[in-house]
Amino acid sequence: MTADSDGVSQVAIVLGTRPEIIKCAPLIKACDRRGVDCLLVHTGQHYSEDLDQVFFDQLELPTPDYNLEVGSRSHGEQTGRMLEGIEDVLDEHVPDVVLVQGDTNSTLAGALAAAKSNIDVGHVEAGLRSFDREMPEETNRVVTDHISDYLFPPTEETKGYLERESVSGEIVVAGNTVVDSLYEYRDLATEKSQILSTLGLTEDDFYLLTAHRAENVDDRDSFAQLLDGVSRFAAQTDREVVYPIHPRAQSRLDEFGLTLPEEIRTVEPLDFLDFLRLEAAASLVFTDSGGVQEETCILGTPCVTLRYTTERPETAYVGANCLAGLDPDDVVEAASTMLGKHADWDVPFGDGHAAERILDTLAAGAEPETAEVPK
């Protein structure tokens, strides 16, 4: 199953969550520039204004052609409902190729619906592996990679994982579309965002925290440990921590009756420009997010990852990220090492033209040798 050499006239993009909207934006815009019809299918996995619509507005994206409004459910029910809805859309439109991005339930459902409908699937950000099958995202990535016809790993490292697993699709190292997005918006964020003054923060004098991953926040002890390590380091260094809190984490905090340490201030989830401004201005970022590990590396802010594994090891290899786990002593040690680190590392995720490279590949019917990303 590969597109013929006449290229593609219609690409369907299936997305459903905040990071997918941000990382698919360059693809949607590249389709528009080339006159390729882009059928946009939103699963409705994220639906709160501040995880969803705010990004469509700020990144100037078209309203999705379909919103399946699947909402929050158990993994099986959520994925199953998406599958049904996407299949109906694909039956009606029969696009040349379906693109999915990342590792969410929406990613898996989009890929599976396309594969079952005998339509080519392209996986953007293929080949990432944490080697931790307890993470729902790892299952989603592995299955998606093995049913994809085109695989777009961001780096040579991730391409290597795909080759070792003998995936059957065409592999093209494309870079990560998050670089495309950041190169487009980082200067605008510095110019336009007022978030530092709104929150009363001074550049290079605060820490940023994001934590939403199920394995961290759905377990009371793990969540408490995570907050303890970060707040201890903040107290030692006399700095405040700003935590734009994901709704999953906020519900768990309420449910567990956890009291936030005084060093940590939660705020509502931020729009893209405000969040980029904080990432760039923070002296250190603590996170369990995949996208935030990449973005801090690109923006030159040292990062401490509050997990035991990462599927973005390139960020650690270049010296931008330290994998600390959750033990408070380890978090404090990692933060001490990373604080003040000079951002002289190379960005390992490509040159900001990933979306163009992906569409070039689809148009050519996958010719990897014409599409290698420069280091």
Q: Which residues are catalytic?
A: 212
Dihedral sign, Cα of residue 18, residue 22, residue 24, residue 29: positive
Tell me the three state secondary structure of residue 258.
Answer: coil
Nearer to ligand UD1, 17 or 176 (CB): 17
Q: State which residue, 45 or 301, has the beta carbon closest to ligand UD1.
A: 45
CB of 21 or CB of 174, closer to ligand UD1: 21
Q: Which amino acid is at 40?
A: L
The nearer residue to ligand UDP, 66 or 272, going by C-beta atoms, is 272
19: nearest Cα among 280, 289, 245 = 289
Query: What is d(CA 7, CA 36) in angstroms, rounded to the nearest whole number?
Result: 10
In the numeric block, the tokens 């459910």 are attached to 73
Helix or strand run (H / E) with residue 242: strand 240-244
Contact of residue 295 among ligand UDP, ligand UD1, none (CB under 5-8 Å per partner type): ligand UDP
Q: Could you tell me which stretch among 1-9, 16-24, 222-230, 309-317 binds ligand UDP (CB under 6 A)? A: 16-24
CA 127 – CA 146 distance, rounded (Å): 10
Counting runs of H as helices and runs of E as strands, what totals does the chain give? 16, 13
Does position 14 interact with ligand UDP (CB under 6 A)? The reply is no
272 makes contact, choosing from ligand UDP, ligand UD1, none, with CB < 5 to 8 Å by partner type, with ligand UDP
Spatial separation of the C-alpha atoms in residues 316 and 229, rounded to whole Å: 20
Q: Does 292 bind ligand UDP (CB under 6 A)?
A: yes
Is 22 a residue that touches ligand UDP (CB under 6 A)? yes
- For residue 72, the partner it binds in ligand UD1, ligand UDP, none, with Cβ less than 5 to 8 A by kind, is ligand UD1
Interaction mask 200-239, ligand UDP, x per CB under 6 A: ----------x-x---------------------------
| Interface region with ligand UDP, contact rule CB under 6 A, candidates 3-11, 65-73, 230-238, 283-291 | 283-291
CA 315 from centroid of its chain's CA atoms: 14
The amino acid at 7: G
CA angle centred on 289, ends 345 and 253, rounded to 5°: 140
- Contact residues: ligand UDP, CB under 6 A: 18-19, 22, 210, 212, 244, 269-270, 272, 275, 289-292, 295
